[in-house]
Amino acid sequence: MRSFAGAFAELAFDLSLELRATGRADLARELEVSVVKAVSYDPETDVGWIALEPQRKLNTVERNVVGQKLGQAISFSDTPYACMQLDNFGRIVALELVAPPRNLRWLLRPASNERWRIP
């Protein structure tokens, strides 16, 4: 598995820069070292999804008693097509990309876990 910063260098740079500018350097560091778990892209809806493996693992109580749920969504003003998803423990778990720029679409398609059919 590849790091997010290695697989999507330009996007990682842009998002990390904005996170640092808004006082969220902790999330910027976490994003840069996150590992890409899965990538999907649907050309019909023009939506991409990058699932990330958080660096901090859950302990037994967090995993079995509290449970992992989606928590907060962070939108970006400089990158309006991106939305970062955090879990209820504040860990980055995914990025949703709605109508991403063309150069990013070309990165998402081959990385996607979907099989593409040629019409």
d(CA 109, CA 25): 30
pTM over 0.85? The answer is: no
Angle between helices 9-21 and 25-33 (to 10 degrees): 160
- Read off the pLDDT of residues 3-13 as tens digits, 9 standing for 90 and up: 899 889 999 99
Q: Identity (one letter) of the amino acid at 72?
A: Q
What pLDDT is recorded for position 63? 61
What pLDDT is recorded for position 59? 67
Q: Is residue 20 part of a domain?
A: yes
d(CA 104, CA 89): 29
Q: Is residue 85 part of a domain?
A: yes
Strand order across the beta sheet in which 70-75 lies = 35-42, 47-53, 92-98, 82-87, 70-75
Residue 119 has pLDDT above 50, yes or no: no
Q: Is residue 90 part of a domain?
A: yes
Residue 112 has pLDDT above 80, yes or no: no
d(CA 36, CA 40): 11
Higher pLDDT, 33 or 61: 33
CA dihedral 81, 28, 7, 84 (to 10 degrees): -30
Domain that holds residue 105: 4-111
Number of independent structural domains in the chain? 1
Q: Is residue 119 part of a domain?
A: no
